[in-house]
Amino acid sequence: MSSFLQFLLKGIAVGSLYALLALGYTMVYGILQFINFAHSDVFMLGAFFSWRLSVLFKINEPSPVAATGVLLGAMALCSLTGFLLERFAYRPLRRAPRLNVLITAIGVSLFIENAGQLVFGKNVVQFPPLLAEHTFEVGGVRVRSVEVIAVVTAFALMVGLHTLVYRTRMGKAMRAVSIDHNIAGLMGIPVDRIISLTFVIGSALAAAAGLLVGITYGQIKQPADSSWVLYGLKAFVAAVIGGIGNVPGAMLGGLLLGLSEQFVAGYLPSELRDAIAFLLLIIILLVRPNGLLGRRVVEKV
Amino acid sequence: MSLLEVRGLDAHYGAIHALQRVDLTVEKGEIVTLIGSNGAGKSSTLRVLSGLLRPTAGTVTFDGRSLIGLAPHAIVRLGIAHAPEGRGIFGTLTVKENLELGAYSRSDRAGIRADISRMMVRFPILGERAGQSAGTLSGGEQQMLAVGRALMARPKLLLLDEPSLGLAPQIVQTIFAIIREINQEGVTILLVEQNAHMALRVAHRGYVLETGEIKMTDDARVLAASDEVRKAYLGIG
Ligand SMILES: Nc1ncnc2c1ncn2[C@@H]1O[C@H](COP(=O)(O)OP(=O)(O)OP(=O)(O)O)[C@@H](O)[C@H]1O
Ligand SMILES: [Mg+2]
């Protein structure tokens, strides 16, 4: 029983990070119908920016205020990265064939990884202790305070995004652009600005995921390490499972993936953990080709 | 000065020359119709006016300002609303959200709310279905929504692209009655139609477009009575 609870909590912790990352993939896909391969690099940058900001401001001991400051700083820097990425790499290709855009995205991704190695080095970096590490017991299970804070932060950001997308004028504009750029333009919506905004928001969430990964694991691997890409790939799979282009779907997919990984690794040989994402993807797409919350293509009159 | 003045307009889709030296004017308060058969370039003309299609030559002046090079959202702000071919309803959004989006260029919240109520009085079906996905509306209802949504921008000039397409005769009558009403309330209208019969009845003036070129222009009544139009577009003679 206690191991069940352990897997549940760990699954939620990992899953909420996948979810944060999945949101960026799904929002960009929803609006431009392309997979932003460089998203996992923005996520990586989020972790490294957080580290550098902590070093810069000499944060050597846990402080919630400083941690929040670092979070906001990393979000701002990644937002800027996402903005520039869209403005200078993707926007010039807005009318080009999908394949060109995809190749550009892969190129940008490699560029960021190599530039990242140059700037941040090739070693594992010890992440500064931004938050105090406590452990306490719940139902016979050890729970780390930083994991709780990570989950709470991730959920708060997701609720914020959900509110933005479904309750504000700007969110309505984002949804309209994701349905049809031309018609959105005819409504008076500045389509290019909304696309920029989508990258900015997705990148900010990736930055948060980067920081939370650093805090949870206490160290971050070098910029070109394959684990960043694997993380991104799984988050993308989570977005597809939930229904690509669908915001609540990305959150659901992320949590589901995190939970299944933990339970599979817990009860079955743990080598299966990384395979579960893809297995889950195949099963769900067989049953629901548009993902869990994806809509069937609604009547196009 | 005319409200809208188009001079020597050319537009291409790749190698396809869709519009050739199109001249067209619309005076304030008019209903002007643009008729022509399939592929004549009617929609392309409207697409240039609303910024969806970049012309390759010519000038477009609206209210004394050039529209060339402006993005669609900027053109809406100047007072042109375009209800496009195929209606362009956001099917997964609600009827009310569609109407709200029509007013995206405005910032007077109270005015927008009042206009939404007004639309729901003018088009009672939109009131009844306000919270429903717009994709569940019938074709005629979607057309009402498309017109209502375009009006939400409070345009000076309304571009309508084949509002009667695919609708039952009775609904077509209703749509044309609404077009006349809107015009009487002070909105200038440029109406693209294949249904030349109805269009020439509601319009003040008309243009006949053939393979990208303006072939004739005159008072709507004169056009409706002319042999060429009667043969080619009214199926008479
Ligand atoms: N997106 C496009 N790509 C390539 N060619 C196009 C495109 N849209 C229109 N055309 C071509 O441009 C010409 C004018 O088309 P347009 O849609 O303006 O005609 P239309 O008068 O509106 O016709 P319809 O009555 O069928 O709506 C046609 O030859 C058409 O095939
Ligand atoms: Mg047309």
Q: B231 falls in which pLDDT band (50, 70, 90)?
A: confident
Whether A301 and B87 have beta carbons less than 8 Å apart is answered as: yes
- Residues of A engaging B, defined by a Cβ cutoff of 8 Å: 169, 172-173, 175-176, 179-180, 182-192, 295, 298-301
Whether B160 and B190 have beta carbons less than 8 Å apart is answered as: yes
- Which H/E stretch holds residue A137? strand A135-138
Model confidence at B156: pLDDT above 60: yes
**Residue A242: which residues within 8 A CB-CB, separation 6 or more?**
A22, A26, A248, A249, A250, A251, A252, A253, A254, A256, A291, A292, A293, A294
Give the separation between CA A67 and CA B126, rounded to whole angstroms. 50
Give the separation between CA A60 and CA B154, rounded to whole angstroms. 58
Contacts of A179 in chain B (CB under 8 A): 90-93
Query: If we measure between CA atoms, which residue out of A282, A183, A128 comes closest to residue B84?
Result: A183
Whether A36 and A105 have beta carbons less than 8 Å apart is answered as: yes
According to DSSP H, which parts of A33-144 are helical? 39-56, 64-84, 98-120
Q: Give A183 to chain B, closest Cα distance, Å.
A: 6
Q: Give B159 to chain A, closest Cα distance, Å.
A: 11
Average pLDDT of the residues in B195-222: 96
**Residue B148: which residues within 8 A CB-CB, separation 6 or more?**
B99, B102, B119, B122, B123, B126
Question: Model confidence over A249-261: pLDDT tens digits?
Answer: 999 999 999 999 9
- Residues of B engaging A, defined by a Cβ cutoff of 8 Å: 50-52, 71-73, 76-77, 81-82, 84, 86-93, 97, 100-102, 104-106, 133, 135-136, 139, 142, 149, 153
Question: Model confidence over A34-66: pLDDT tens digits?
Answer: 899 999 999 999 999 999 999 999 988 899 999
Whether B91 sits inside 8 A of A301 (CB atoms) is: yes
Select from B33, B35, B42 the residue to mutate for testing ligand 1; criterion: most ligand atoms less than 8 Å from CB: B42
Cβ-count burial B37-73 (b if 16+ within 10 Å, e if not): eeebbbbbbbbbbbbbbebeebebbbbeeebeebebb
What is the pLDDT at residue A272?
79
Nearest CB neighbour to B100, from listed A172, A192, A298:
A172
Q: What is the mean pLDDT of chain B?
A: 95
According to DSSP H, which parts of B14-168 are helical? 42-49, 72-78, 95-102, 109-122, 124-128, 139-151
Whether B120 and B130 have beta carbons less than 8 Å apart is answered as: yes
SS3 per residue for A76-95: HHHHHHHHHHHHHHHHHHCC
Question: Model confidence over A209-239: pLDDT tens digits?
Answer: 999 999 999 999 999 999 999 999 999 999 9
Whether B106 and B77 have beta carbons less than 8 Å apart is answered as: no
Question: How far does residue A201's CA lie from ligand 2's centre (Å)?
Answer: 37
What is the pLDDT at residue A299?
35
Q: B204 falls in which pLDDT band (50, 70, 90)?
A: very high
Whether A222 and A124 have beta carbons less than 8 Å apart is answered as: yes
What is the pLDDT at residue A258?
94
Residue nearest to atom 22 of ligand 1 (CA): B43
Domains of chain B: 4-90+142-233 (3.40.50.300)
pLDDT tens-place values along chain A, 301 residues long: 678 888 999 999 999 999 999 999 999 999 998 899 999 999 999 999 999 999 999 988 899 999 999 999 999 999 999 999 999 999 999 989 988 999 999 999 999 999 999 999 999 999 998 998 899 888 888 889 999 999 999 999 999 999 999 999 999 999 999 999 999 999 999 999 999 999 999 999 999 999 999 999 999 999 999 999 999 999 999 999 999 999 999 999 999 999 999 998 888 887 777 888 788 888 988 998 889 998 654 433 3
Give the separation between CA A208 and CA A211, rounded to whole angstroms. 5
What region, left, alpha or beta, does residue A63 occupy, with left being phi > 0 and alpha being psi -120 to 50 degrees? beta
